[in-house]
């Protein structure tokens, strides 16, 4: 049985991982403040204390707009911290699983991004996540970096809950139609992670690297919101009468986001013989 250290277990993805990793062995699940990803000494102490065979990092500074005014903190949690974690994993020959984001791209390509495409982040968050990827790759060892996009969970926060909430408060919803990516249910990502870990460290060692892994297909926020409203199990509670497309520029925000950052996940599919279901199907199951 594996000894797994899961960091960030109260987040969207971490919460689901805490569930899906259980059958694999002993899961030690920690979050801030038990471990502080902005503090190298705290990271090293945690890993050295537990001596896991697998480390799964579901922590991140994910407040994309707030990161613009807290660049050092975002950089420490998303950049330096994962690098330190990778070093500690390497010392123990532990498998290291880390997640990154489509926001490492500028969204100008026009078709889904593959792993070889050159990143060009537009925001502090995107730059900090890219730095995390770079440091983990530099350390080496046995690792997987899974780049994903538009992660949601019905348990807390997130876009799906927001749309359901807005629909109960407003008669007209205006949702951005010129931002496109892959809606990804956190639970599916967690299940995929567990399936790969179950195949063992030799299997992962042979496949060490960075992969795109997100819900199959892509959508604009507008299309995503329309599907959410259609699938709402309590439609009678909705006040909303119309949903209208809007432009990202209609909602100015501190951070700039890519307009088309859909991820092409075919490399992952080929190498692992697994894929996430179509985003519409996952959304139906989630709701």
- Asked if 25 and 4 count as a contact pair (C-beta separation under 8 A), the reply is yes
58 contacts ligand NAP (rule: CB under 6 A): yes
Quick one: 155 or 168, whose CB is closer to ligand NAP?
Answer: 155
**What beta strand segments (E) does 129-208 contain?**
142-148, 151-152, 172-176, 180-181, 184-185
Q: How far is the CB of 167 from ligand NAP (least distance, A)?
A: 20
The residues facing 3 across adjacent strands are: 26
Site for ligand NAP in 148-187 (CB under 6 A): 148-151, 186
Find the catalytic residue in 99, 125, 143, 152. 125
Shortest CB 171 distance to ligand NAP, Å: 28
Binding track over 22-41 against ligand NAP, x by CB under 6 A: ---------xx--xxxx---
**Minimal distance, residue 265 CB to ligand NAP, in Å:** 13
Distance CA 207, CA 275 (A): 16
Q: Restricting to residues 98-137, which ones interact with ligand NAP according to CB under 6 A?
A: 99, 101, 129
Look up 125 and say whether it is catalytic. Answer: yes
Give the interface segment with ligand NAP, choosing from 9-17, 111-119, 165-173, 269-277 (CB under 6 A).
Answer: 9-17
Say if CB 143 and CB 89 are below 8 A apart. yes
Please give the DSSP secondary-structure letter assigned to residue 38: T
Nearer to ligand NAP, 12 or 280 (CB): 12
Is residue 127 within 8 A of residue 260, CB to CB? The reply is no
Least distance to ligand NAP, CB of residue 7, Å: 6
Instruction: State how far the Cα of 170 lies from the Cα of 144, in Å rounded to an integer.
Output: 42
Residue 59 interacts with ligand NAP (CB under 6 A): yes or no: yes
Name the residue nearer to ligand NAP (CB basis): 67 or 240.
Answer: 67
Radius of gyration (C-alpha) of the chain in whole angstroms: 19
Q: Is 14 in the site for ligand NAP (CB under 6 A)?
A: yes
The count of other CB atoms within 10 Å of the CB of residue 71 is 15
Specify the stretch interacting with ligand NAP by CB under 6 A; choose among 88-96, 105-113, 143-151, 265-273: 143-151
Q: In 3-state terms, what secondary structure has residue 4?
A: strand
- 176-185 exposure pattern, b = at least 16 Cβ within 10 A, e = fewer: bbbbbbbbbb
What's the chain's length in residues?
A: 287
Q: Which residues would be at the binding site for ligand NAP (CB under 6 A)?
A: 8, 10-14, 31-32, 35-38, 58-62, 77, 99, 101, 129, 148-151, 186
* Residues labelled catalytic: 125
């Amino acid at each position: 049985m594996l000894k797994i250290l899961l960091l960030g277990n109260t987040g969207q993805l971490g919460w689901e991982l805490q569930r899906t990793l259980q059958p694999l062995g002993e899961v030690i699940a920690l979050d801030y403040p038990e471990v502080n990803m902005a503090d190298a000494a705290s990271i090293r102490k945690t890993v050295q204390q537990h001596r896991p065979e697998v480390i799964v990092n579901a922590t991140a500074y994910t407040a994309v707009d707030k990161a613009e005014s807290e660049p050092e903190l975002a950089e420490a949690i998303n950049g330096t911290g994962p690098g330190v974690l990778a070093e500690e994993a390497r010392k123990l020959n532990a498998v290291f699983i880390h997640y990154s984001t489509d926001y490492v791209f500028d969204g100008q390509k026009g078709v889904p991004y593959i792993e070889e495409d050159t990143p060009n982040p537009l925001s502090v968050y995107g730059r900090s996540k890219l730095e995390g990827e770079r440091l983990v790759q530099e350390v080496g060892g046995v690792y997987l970096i899974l780049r994903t996009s538009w992660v949601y969970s019905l348990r807390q926060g997130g876009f799906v809950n927001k749309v359901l909430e807005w629909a109960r408060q407003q008669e007209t919803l205006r949702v951005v139609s010129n931002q496109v990516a892959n809606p990804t249910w956190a639970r599916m990502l967690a299940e995929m992670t567990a399936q790969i870990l179950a195949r063992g460290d030799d299997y992962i060692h042979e496949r060490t690297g960075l992969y795109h892994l997100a819900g199959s297909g892509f959508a604009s926020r507008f299309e995503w919101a329309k599907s959410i409203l259609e699938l709402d199990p309590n439609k009678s509670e909705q006040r909303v009468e119309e949903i209208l497309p809007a432009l990202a520029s209609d909602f100015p925000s501190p951070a700039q986001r890519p307009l088309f950052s859909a991820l092409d996940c075919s490399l992952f599919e080929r190498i692992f013989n697994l894929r996430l279901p179509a985003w519409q199907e996952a959304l139906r199951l989630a709701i």
